[in-house]
Amino acid sequence: MSTTFAAWIKHVPGPDRQSHRGAIVVFPHAGAAAASYRKLAAALAAGGDTFIVQYPQRAERLNHPAPRDIHDLARGLFQAGPWHRAAPLRLFGHSMGAVVAFEFARIAEQRGIAVRKLWVSAGPVPSAVADLPELPTSDTELLADLANMGGTDPRLLADEEFAALLTNAARCDYEALNRYDCSNGVRIRADIHVIGGRHDNRVDAGSLHRWANHTDGRFTLSFFDGGHFYINEHTNTVANRVVTNV
């Protein structure tokens, strides 16, 4: 584990009076850069120091090698900073980011670092990922899938330079997810709080409920109006829920 946080882990300082609560760590969705979560991180920082992790193959990590799978990705993120100094941790992951956060929590708990809560936002349940249809990896199929998922301005998807960067990042993440496997009996001690969009066409309510199988702690499930990226319409409300539920 590093003695200082890597420069690509974005830090949004929280109020000094909240330092005893520990830090909040944000894990982006597939294809996304840390910058996409600046608004959420700013809102979360009301409850303590907030970090956004940056995955390889994008932004300042454009030349960093792609991880083999989600386990490898989570290990690299864990090794990138002295997380024990920021504990107890609260983790927040959206979509694929929820699976990365889950694996990060497993590593942290194995190393004796307290993880208080895992907030799952519209994320596929780990034990079912291997049974899902394989995610596309060709440029054309990737762009079509990202357009279907939503969350990205269609005008940006039509920009050739932006689309090339996005497909490169998304391919890295999709391939890592395609190689991921997790058994139903794998659990973390931290509480798991799941939030979904009522009209999500990617992750249904049944899948979200199955996250209960992955915790020895408390489990809750709630919904907001919206689709897979419901969070874009409810950023402050979601952040307030995370901040106040310590």
- Max CA distance (Å), the chain: 49
Distance CA 185, CA 215 (A): 9
Percent of the chain predicted with pLDDT > 70: 98
Q: Does any domain span residue 68?
A: yes
Mean pLDDT on 124-132: 97
Among candidates 206, 194, 223, which has minimal Cα distance to 92? 194
Mean pLDDT on 52-61: 98
| Alpha carbon of residue 218 to chain centroid | 20
Domain count, the chain: 1
- In Å, how far are 31, 81, 83, 111 from 3, measured between CA atoms? 28, 6, 9, 15
Which tokens sit at 112? 């004796």
Assess whether pLDDT exceeds 80 at residue 51: yes
What burial class does residue 211 get, using C-beta atoms within 10 Å of its C-beta: 0-12 exposed, 13-18 middle, 19+ buried?
buried
Q: What is the residue range of 89's domain?
A: 10-244
Q: Does any domain span residue 3?
A: no
89/185: higher pLDDT: 89
Q: Does any domain span residue 62?
A: yes
pLDDT digits (tens, 9 = 90+) for 195-237: 999 999 999 999 999 999 999 999 999 999 999 999 999 999 9
Distance CA 119, CA 121 (A): 6
Which tokens sit at 216? 């020895």
pLDDT at residue 179, as a whole number: 98
Assess whether pLDDT exceeds 90 at residue 85: yes
pLDDT digits (tens, 9 = 90+) for 6-27: 999 999 999 976 667 899 999 9
Distance CA 121, CA 105 (A): 15
Q: Does any domain span residue 82?
A: yes
What SS3 state is found at 124?
Answer: coil
Q: Does any domain span residue 63?
A: yes
Q: Does any domain span residue 174?
A: yes
Angle, CA of 4, 53 and 39, to the nearest 5°: 120
The CATH number of residue 136's host domain is 3.40.50.1820
pLDDT at residue 20, as a whole number: 72
Q: Does any domain span residue 240?
A: yes
pLDDT at residue 197, as a whole number: 98
Please check whether residue 121 is in contact with residue 238, taking contact to mean a CB–CB distance below 8 angstroms: yes
Distance CA 120, CA 97 (A): 8
Please check whether residue 117 is in contact with residue 98, taking contact to mean a CB–CB distance below 8 angstroms: no
156/176: higher pLDDT: 176
Assess whether pLDDT exceeds 80 at residue 42: yes
Tokens 């034990």 identify what position?
127
pLDDT at residue 238, as a whole number: 98
Assess whether pLDDT exceeds 80 at residue 246: no
Q: Does any domain span residue 2?
A: no
Instruction: Give me the sign of the Cα torsion angle 221, 224, 227, 230.
Output: negative
